[in-house]
Amino acid sequence: MTVTAQDGGTPARFATITVDVNVVRETGALRFTLDTYSATIPETERVNSSIVQTFANPGVCLPIN
């Protein structure tokens, strides 16, 4: 998963990071309910606040050739 943060300045500054998601206890492939998640976070947001909640559902697992 890729997370991109962008400020509201002119010119806008941004940073991108790759986040690994480890799923425990699922035997099949998972698919997130949305392809893209977006949130605006105020500068006054407290550290360790929950920003976005995602959900994943069992997807179709196709064999790799």
Are 30 and 57 contacting, i.e. CB atoms less than 8 angstroms apart?
yes
> Tens digits of per-residue pLDDT, 12-63?
999 999 988 777 776 677 788 888 888 888 888 898 888 888 877 776 555 5
Range list of β-strands (E), the chain? 2-6, 14-18, 30-32, 56-58
In a domain, 50, yes or no: yes
Question: In the chain, how many domains are there?
Answer: 1
In a domain, 33, yes or no: yes
Q: pTM surpassing 0.75?
A: no
Domain range holding 28? 24-59
Structure-block tokens of residue 22: 């480890």
In a domain, 43, yes or no: yes
